[in-house]
Amino acid sequence: ANDVYKYNFPSTPLWAKTIEGITLKEFDRLSFDMILMSPPCQPFTRIGLQGDVSDPRTKSFLYILDILPRLQKLPKYLLLENVKGFESSSARNVLLQTLATCGFKYQEFLLSPTCLGIPNSRLRYFLIAKLHQEPFSFQAPGQILTRFPDQDPEGLLKEKVADEVGETSSSLSSEEKNRDPNIGPDCSSKKSIPKGAFLFKLETVEEMERKHNQDNDSSIQMLKDFLEEENKEMSQYFLPPKSLLRYAFLLDIVKPTCRRSTCFTKGYGHYVEGTGSVLQTAVDVQLESVFKHIDELPEEEKLLKLSTLKLRYFTPREIANLHGFPSEFGFPEKVTVKQCYRLLGNSLNVHVVAKLISILLE
Protein backbone atom coordinates (compact mmCIF):
# COMPACT_ATOMS: atom_id res chain seq x y z
CA ALA A 1 0.00 0.00 0.00
CA ASN A 2 2.84 2.39 0.84
CA ASP A 3 4.61 1.59 -2.44
CA VAL A 4 1.44 2.35 -4.42
CA TYR A 5 0.95 5.59 -2.48
CA LYS A 6 4.55 6.70 -3.13
CA TYR A 7 4.15 5.84 -6.81
CA ASN A 8 1.10 8.09 -7.17
CA PHE A 9 2.11 10.84 -4.72
CA PRO A 10 5.93 10.95 -4.85
CA SER A 11 6.18 14.35 -3.12
CA THR A 12 3.91 13.52 -0.16
CA PRO A 13 5.76 12.59 3.06
CA LEU A 14 4.96 9.06 4.15
CA TRP A 15 5.85 7.40 7.45
CA ALA A 16 6.43 3.67 7.31
CA LYS A 17 5.49 3.11 10.94
CA THR A 18 2.47 2.08 12.98
CA ILE A 19 0.07 4.70 14.34
CA GLU A 20 0.92 3.56 17.89
CA GLY A 21 4.58 4.25 17.11
CA ILE A 22 3.89 7.99 16.67
CA THR A 23 4.33 9.86 19.96
CA LEU A 24 2.18 12.70 21.29
CA LYS A 25 5.15 15.02 20.77
CA GLU A 26 5.40 13.99 17.09
CA PHE A 27 1.66 14.51 16.60
CA ASP A 28 1.92 17.99 18.15
CA ARG A 29 4.83 18.83 15.85
CA LEU A 30 2.69 17.99 12.80
CA SER A 31 0.01 20.50 13.90
CA PHE A 32 -2.51 19.11 11.40
CA ASP A 33 -5.98 20.48 10.58
CA MET A 34 -7.73 17.28 9.55
CA ILE A 35 -7.70 13.57 10.32
CA LEU A 36 -8.96 11.17 7.65
CA MET A 37 -9.09 7.64 9.00
CA SER A 38 -10.25 4.20 8.04
CA PRO A 39 -9.49 1.93 11.01
CA PRO A 40 -9.11 -1.85 10.42
CA CYS A 41 -12.62 -3.17 9.73
CA GLN A 42 -12.16 -6.85 10.69
CA PRO A 43 -13.27 -6.31 14.33
CA PHE A 44 -16.65 -5.01 13.10
CA THR A 45 -17.46 -6.86 9.89
CA ARG A 46 -20.69 -8.87 9.91
CA ILE A 47 -19.04 -12.11 8.78
CA GLY A 48 -16.09 -11.85 11.19
CA LEU A 49 -15.77 -12.66 14.89
CA GLN A 50 -16.84 -9.10 15.81
CA GLY A 51 -14.19 -8.80 18.53
CA ASP A 52 -14.77 -5.03 18.64
CA VAL A 53 -12.49 -3.19 21.12
CA SER A 54 -11.03 -6.49 22.37
CA ASP A 55 -9.61 -7.23 18.91
CA PRO A 56 -5.88 -6.27 18.80
CA ARG A 57 -6.48 -4.65 15.40
CA THR A 58 -8.53 -1.91 17.13
CA LYS A 59 -5.41 -0.74 19.02
CA SER A 60 -4.37 1.94 16.51
CA PHE A 61 -7.86 3.46 16.53
CA LEU A 62 -8.12 3.49 20.32
CA TYR A 63 -4.63 5.05 20.46
CA ILE A 64 -5.80 7.95 18.25
CA LEU A 65 -8.84 8.45 20.49
CA ASP A 66 -6.57 8.49 23.53
CA ILE A 67 -4.18 11.01 21.93
CA LEU A 68 -6.87 13.33 20.53
CA PRO A 69 -7.93 15.16 23.76
CA ARG A 70 -4.25 15.59 24.75
CA LEU A 71 -3.10 17.37 21.58
CA GLN A 72 -1.84 20.96 22.02
CA LYS A 73 -3.89 21.98 18.98
CA LEU A 74 -7.01 19.95 18.15
CA PRO A 75 -7.63 19.35 14.44
CA LYS A 76 -10.61 21.29 12.99
CA TYR A 77 -12.03 18.40 10.99
CA LEU A 78 -12.33 14.64 11.19
CA LEU A 79 -13.64 12.01 8.76
CA LEU A 80 -13.89 8.30 9.55
CA GLU A 81 -14.89 5.34 7.36
CA ASN A 82 -15.64 1.75 8.32
CA VAL A 83 -17.88 -1.19 7.46
CA LYS A 84 -21.58 -1.39 8.19
CA GLY A 85 -21.68 -2.85 11.70
CA PHE A 86 -19.32 -0.24 13.16
CA GLU A 87 -22.38 1.85 14.06
CA SER A 88 -23.42 -0.71 16.68
CA SER A 89 -19.92 -1.30 18.12
CA SER A 90 -18.35 -0.31 21.45
CA ALA A 91 -15.53 1.36 19.47
CA ARG A 92 -18.07 3.75 17.96
CA ASN A 93 -19.36 4.59 21.46
CA VAL A 94 -15.79 5.42 22.58
CA LEU A 95 -15.41 7.59 19.45
CA LEU A 96 -18.60 9.57 20.14
CA GLN A 97 -17.65 10.09 23.81
CA THR A 98 -14.19 11.36 22.76
CA LEU A 99 -15.70 13.75 20.18
CA ALA A 100 -18.12 15.12 22.79
CA THR A 101 -15.27 15.61 25.30
CA CYS A 102 -13.23 17.54 22.70
CA GLY A 103 -16.18 19.71 21.59
CA PHE A 104 -16.74 18.30 18.10
CA LYS A 105 -20.09 18.45 16.28
CA TYR A 106 -20.60 15.31 14.22
CA GLN A 107 -22.95 13.53 11.84
CA GLU A 108 -23.04 9.84 10.91
CA PHE A 109 -23.93 8.26 7.56
CA LEU A 110 -24.45 4.86 5.93
CA LEU A 111 -23.69 5.45 2.26
CA SER A 112 -23.09 3.48 -0.92
CA PRO A 113 -21.72 4.68 -4.31
CA THR A 114 -25.13 3.83 -5.82
CA CYS A 115 -26.54 7.04 -4.31
CA LEU A 116 -24.14 8.94 -6.63
CA GLY A 117 -25.25 6.92 -9.67
CA ILE A 118 -22.25 4.55 -9.57
CA PRO A 119 -23.20 0.91 -10.35
CA ASN A 120 -21.42 -0.65 -7.39
CA SER A 121 -22.83 -1.55 -3.98
CA ARG A 122 -20.36 -0.74 -1.23
CA LEU A 123 -22.36 0.21 1.84
CA ARG A 124 -20.09 1.85 4.41
CA TYR A 125 -20.32 3.77 7.69
CA PHE A 126 -18.99 7.34 7.63
CA LEU A 127 -18.67 10.02 10.30
CA ILE A 128 -17.77 13.66 9.71
CA ALA A 129 -16.96 16.00 12.61
CA LYS A 130 -15.92 19.63 13.01
CA LEU A 131 -14.60 21.49 16.02
CA HIS A 132 -16.27 24.33 17.97
CA GLN A 133 -18.46 25.50 15.14
CA GLU A 134 -22.17 25.75 14.39
CA PRO A 135 -23.79 22.34 13.92
CA PHE A 136 -24.19 21.10 10.37
CA SER A 137 -27.23 22.73 8.76
CA PHE A 138 -28.69 19.29 8.08
CA GLN A 139 -27.66 17.72 11.38
CA ALA A 140 -29.99 14.97 12.58
CA PRO A 141 -28.97 14.16 16.18
CA GLY A 142 -29.13 10.47 16.96
CA GLN A 143 -29.85 9.55 13.33
CA ILE A 144 -27.58 7.90 10.78
CA LEU A 145 -28.29 9.49 7.40
CA THR A 146 -28.56 7.17 4.41
CA ARG A 147 -28.34 9.87 1.74
CA PHE A 148 -26.33 13.03 1.19
CA PRO A 149 -28.15 16.09 2.60
CA ASP A 150 -28.81 17.61 -0.84
CA GLN A 151 -30.41 14.37 -2.01
CA ASP A 152 -32.67 13.62 0.92
CA PRO A 153 -32.93 16.22 3.71
CA GLU A 154 -34.39 13.75 6.18
CA GLY A 155 -31.94 11.00 5.24
CA LEU A 156 -34.31 8.23 6.17
CA LEU A 157 -34.42 6.10 3.04
CA LYS A 158 -34.31 2.86 4.96
CA GLU A 159 -35.46 0.82 1.97
CA LYS A 160 -32.34 1.80 0.04
CA VAL A 161 -30.08 0.68 2.89
CA ALA A 162 -32.03 -2.57 3.10
CA ASP A 163 -31.32 -3.07 -0.61
CA GLU A 164 -27.62 -2.46 -0.11
CA VAL A 165 -27.45 -4.82 2.87
CA GLY A 166 -29.07 -7.51 0.77
CA GLU A 167 -26.70 -6.81 -2.09
CA THR A 168 -23.60 -7.31 0.03
CA SER A 169 -24.85 -10.31 1.98
CA SER A 170 -23.92 -13.91 1.29
CA SER A 171 -25.42 -15.67 -1.73
CA LEU A 172 -26.87 -18.34 0.52
CA SER A 173 -29.44 -17.25 3.09
CA SER A 174 -32.09 -18.58 5.43
CA GLU A 175 -34.64 -17.62 2.79
CA GLU A 176 -33.49 -20.42 0.50
CA LYS A 177 -36.36 -22.60 1.69
CA ASN A 178 -38.84 -20.09 0.27
CA ARG A 179 -37.55 -19.97 -3.29
CA ASP A 180 -39.86 -19.89 -6.28
CA PRO A 181 -38.44 -22.37 -8.83
CA ASN A 182 -40.15 -20.56 -11.72
CA ILE A 183 -38.41 -17.21 -11.46
CA GLY A 184 -34.94 -16.16 -12.64
CA PRO A 185 -33.09 -12.86 -13.14
CA ASP A 186 -31.38 -11.27 -16.12
CA CYS A 187 -30.14 -7.76 -16.82
CA SER A 188 -32.98 -6.99 -19.18
CA SER A 189 -34.94 -3.75 -19.41
CA LYS A 190 -38.24 -5.40 -18.45
CA LYS A 191 -40.04 -3.66 -15.63
CA SER A 192 -40.72 -6.86 -13.69
CA ILE A 193 -39.52 -10.44 -13.59
CA PRO A 194 -41.24 -12.31 -16.43
CA LYS A 195 -43.64 -15.06 -15.45
CA GLY A 196 -42.23 -18.52 -15.97
CA ALA A 197 -38.64 -17.28 -16.10
CA PHE A 198 -36.17 -19.95 -15.08
CA LEU A 199 -34.38 -19.97 -11.72
CA PHE A 200 -30.77 -20.73 -12.58
CA LYS A 201 -29.03 -19.48 -9.47
CA LEU A 202 -29.27 -19.89 -5.71
CA GLU A 203 -31.16 -16.65 -5.10
CA THR A 204 -34.35 -15.59 -3.39
CA VAL A 205 -37.22 -13.99 -5.28
CA GLU A 206 -36.53 -10.78 -3.31
CA GLU A 207 -32.90 -10.74 -4.48
CA MET A 208 -33.98 -11.14 -8.09
CA GLU A 209 -36.53 -8.36 -7.85
CA ARG A 210 -33.94 -6.07 -6.29
CA LYS A 211 -31.50 -6.73 -9.12
CA HIS A 212 -34.17 -6.07 -11.73
CA ASN A 213 -35.09 -2.82 -10.02
CA GLN A 214 -31.43 -1.76 -9.96
CA ASP A 215 -30.99 -2.54 -13.64
CA ASN A 216 -34.02 -0.41 -14.48
CA ASP A 217 -32.89 2.57 -12.38
CA SER A 218 -31.83 5.13 -14.98
CA SER A 219 -30.28 7.35 -12.27
CA ILE A 220 -27.43 4.81 -12.09
CA GLN A 221 -24.83 4.54 -14.86
CA MET A 222 -24.28 1.35 -16.85
CA LEU A 223 -21.19 -0.74 -16.12
CA LYS A 224 -19.96 -0.27 -19.69
CA ASP A 225 -19.00 3.32 -18.79
CA PHE A 226 -16.37 1.92 -16.39
CA LEU A 227 -14.95 -0.94 -18.48
CA GLU A 228 -11.70 -1.21 -20.37
CA GLU A 229 -11.70 -2.16 -24.05
CA GLU A 230 -11.51 -5.91 -24.57
CA ASN A 231 -8.03 -6.95 -25.71
CA LYS A 232 -5.69 -9.97 -25.78
CA GLU A 233 -4.40 -9.27 -22.28
CA MET A 234 -7.93 -9.82 -20.94
CA SER A 235 -7.45 -13.59 -21.30
CA GLN A 236 -5.77 -13.72 -17.86
CA TYR A 237 -9.02 -12.52 -16.26
CA PHE A 238 -11.33 -15.23 -17.63
CA LEU A 239 -12.63 -17.68 -15.03
CA PRO A 240 -10.78 -21.02 -15.15
CA PRO A 241 -12.81 -24.18 -15.96
CA LYS A 242 -12.54 -25.46 -12.37
CA SER A 243 -14.13 -22.27 -10.99
CA LEU A 244 -16.87 -22.30 -13.62
CA LEU A 245 -17.91 -25.85 -12.77
CA ARG A 246 -17.71 -25.43 -9.01
CA TYR A 247 -19.21 -21.98 -8.54
CA ALA A 248 -21.49 -21.43 -11.56
CA PHE A 249 -24.63 -21.28 -9.45
CA LEU A 250 -23.13 -18.89 -6.90
CA LEU A 251 -21.72 -16.26 -9.26
CA ASP A 252 -23.22 -12.79 -9.50
CA ILE A 253 -23.17 -12.42 -13.28
CA VAL A 254 -23.55 -8.96 -14.82
CA LYS A 255 -23.47 -7.63 -18.38
CA PRO A 256 -21.99 -4.30 -19.51
CA THR A 257 -25.55 -2.92 -19.75
CA CYS A 258 -26.28 -3.71 -16.09
CA ARG A 259 -26.50 -0.90 -13.56
CA ARG A 260 -25.21 -2.85 -10.56
CA SER A 261 -22.31 -4.88 -9.21
CA THR A 262 -21.73 -6.40 -5.80
CA CYS A 263 -19.09 -5.21 -3.34
CA PHE A 264 -15.56 -6.17 -4.43
CA THR A 265 -13.57 -7.61 -1.51
CA LYS A 266 -9.83 -8.18 -1.07
CA GLY A 267 -10.29 -11.85 -2.03
CA TYR A 268 -11.57 -10.97 -5.51
CA GLY A 269 -9.83 -12.84 -8.33
CA HIS A 270 -8.54 -15.39 -5.81
CA TYR A 271 -11.76 -16.61 -4.20
CA VAL A 272 -14.95 -16.79 -6.25
CA GLU A 273 -17.91 -16.93 -3.90
CA GLY A 274 -19.12 -13.64 -2.43
CA THR A 275 -16.09 -11.55 -3.42
CA GLY A 276 -17.67 -9.49 -6.23
CA SER A 277 -19.50 -9.70 -9.53
CA VAL A 278 -18.14 -11.29 -12.71
CA LEU A 279 -18.68 -9.89 -16.20
CA GLN A 280 -20.46 -11.74 -19.01
CA THR A 281 -18.62 -10.57 -22.13
CA ALA A 282 -20.68 -12.69 -24.57
CA VAL A 283 -23.55 -10.20 -24.35
CA ASP A 284 -25.81 -11.94 -26.89
CA VAL A 285 -25.91 -15.23 -24.99
CA GLN A 286 -28.96 -15.62 -22.72
CA LEU A 287 -28.25 -16.82 -19.20
CA GLU A 288 -31.44 -18.88 -19.13
CA SER A 289 -30.43 -20.82 -22.24
CA VAL A 290 -27.11 -21.71 -20.62
CA PHE A 291 -28.37 -22.66 -17.16
CA LYS A 292 -31.56 -24.49 -18.13
CA HIS A 293 -31.20 -28.22 -17.33
CA ILE A 294 -27.43 -27.71 -16.96
CA ASP A 295 -27.34 -29.94 -13.87
CA GLU A 296 -28.46 -32.88 -16.00
CA LEU A 297 -25.47 -32.59 -18.34
CA PRO A 298 -22.16 -34.44 -18.04
CA GLU A 299 -19.25 -32.28 -16.84
CA GLU A 300 -17.74 -31.77 -20.29
CA GLU A 301 -20.98 -30.50 -21.82
CA LYS A 302 -21.70 -28.39 -18.76
CA LEU A 303 -18.33 -26.65 -19.12
CA LEU A 304 -18.93 -26.16 -22.85
CA LYS A 305 -22.22 -24.38 -22.11
CA LEU A 306 -20.79 -22.20 -19.35
CA SER A 307 -17.84 -21.23 -21.54
CA THR A 308 -20.20 -19.64 -24.08
CA LEU A 309 -20.86 -16.84 -21.56
CA LYS A 310 -17.18 -15.80 -21.64
CA LEU A 311 -17.16 -14.85 -17.97
CA ARG A 312 -14.25 -12.83 -16.66
CA TYR A 313 -13.25 -10.97 -13.54
CA PHE A 314 -13.32 -7.19 -13.60
CA THR A 315 -9.76 -5.93 -14.09
CA PRO A 316 -8.04 -3.92 -11.32
CA ARG A 317 -8.36 -0.81 -13.53
CA GLU A 318 -12.12 -1.35 -13.88
CA ILE A 319 -12.59 -1.74 -10.12
CA ALA A 320 -10.48 1.40 -9.63
CA ASN A 321 -12.81 3.16 -12.10
CA LEU A 322 -15.87 2.06 -10.11
CA HIS A 323 -14.14 3.31 -6.93
CA GLY A 324 -13.69 6.72 -8.56
CA PHE A 325 -9.90 6.62 -8.90
CA PRO A 326 -8.73 9.04 -11.64
CA SER A 327 -7.34 7.71 -14.92
CA GLU A 328 -3.79 8.80 -13.97
CA PHE A 329 -3.84 6.58 -10.87
CA GLY A 330 -1.65 3.51 -11.38
CA PHE A 331 0.20 0.65 -9.74
CA PRO A 332 3.99 0.12 -9.80
CA GLU A 333 5.05 -2.74 -12.10
CA LYS A 334 6.21 -4.92 -9.22
CA VAL A 335 2.69 -5.01 -7.69
CA THR A 336 0.98 -8.23 -8.76
CA VAL A 337 -2.63 -8.49 -9.95
CA LYS A 338 -3.50 -10.35 -6.73
CA GLN A 339 -2.01 -7.50 -4.66
CA CYS A 340 -3.96 -4.96 -6.74
CA TYR A 341 -7.21 -6.79 -5.94
CA ARG A 342 -6.34 -6.96 -2.24
CA LEU A 343 -5.60 -3.23 -2.09
CA LEU A 344 -8.72 -2.27 -4.03
CA GLY A 345 -10.85 -4.60 -1.92
CA ASN A 346 -9.64 -2.76 1.19
CA SER A 347 -10.16 0.62 -0.45
CA LEU A 348 -13.12 3.00 -0.52
CA ASN A 349 -15.05 5.07 -3.03
CA VAL A 350 -13.28 8.32 -3.84
CA HIS A 351 -16.42 10.16 -4.99
CA VAL A 352 -18.31 9.38 -1.76
CA VAL A 353 -15.40 10.56 0.40
CA ALA A 354 -14.79 13.66 -1.75
CA LYS A 355 -18.42 14.71 -1.36
CA LEU A 356 -18.28 14.19 2.41
CA ILE A 357 -15.09 16.30 2.65
CA SER A 358 -16.72 19.09 0.64
CA ILE A 359 -19.74 19.00 3.01
CA LEU A 360 -17.38 19.02 5.99
CA LEU A 361 -15.53 22.11 4.70
CA GLU A 362 -18.61 24.09 3.63
Q: State pTM to two decimals.
A: 0.84
Phi, psi angles (nearest 5°) of residue 108: -105, 150
Express the helix, strand and coil content of the chain in percent, nearest 5 each.
40, 10, 50
DSSP letter (8 states) at residue 82: E
Q: Which domains does the chain have, with CATH numbers?
A: 11-161+350-361 (3.40.50.150), 175-314 (3.90.120.10)
- The pLDDT, as a whole number, for residue 199 is 46
41 flagged as catalytic: yes
SS3 253: strand
Predicted local confidence at residue 181, as pLDDT: 35
Q: Which pLDDT score is estimated for 345?
A: 94
Distance CA 208, CA 146 (A): 23
Side-chain-side CA neighbours of residue 136 (13 Å)? 26
Neighbours of 284 (CB within 10 A): 6
Tens of pLDDT along the chain (362 residues) come to: 999 999 999 999 998 888 899 999 999 999 999 999 998 766 555 555 555 556 666 788 889 999 999 999 999 999 999 989 889 888 899 999 999 999 999 999 999 999 999 999 999 999 999 997 777 888 787 899 999 998 764 444 444 454 555 554 433 333 333 333 333 334 444 445 544 344 445 567 787 888 888 899 999 999 999 999 988 889 999 999 999 999 988 899 999 999 999 999 999 998 888 899 999 999 999 988 898 888 889 999 999 999 999 999 999 999 999 999 999 999 999 999 999 999 999 999 999 999 999 999 98
Residue 173: predicted pLDDT: 33
The SS3 call for residue 337 is helix
How many Å is the maximal CA-CA distance in the chain?
Answer: 71
Separation CA 124–CA 348 (nearest Å):
9
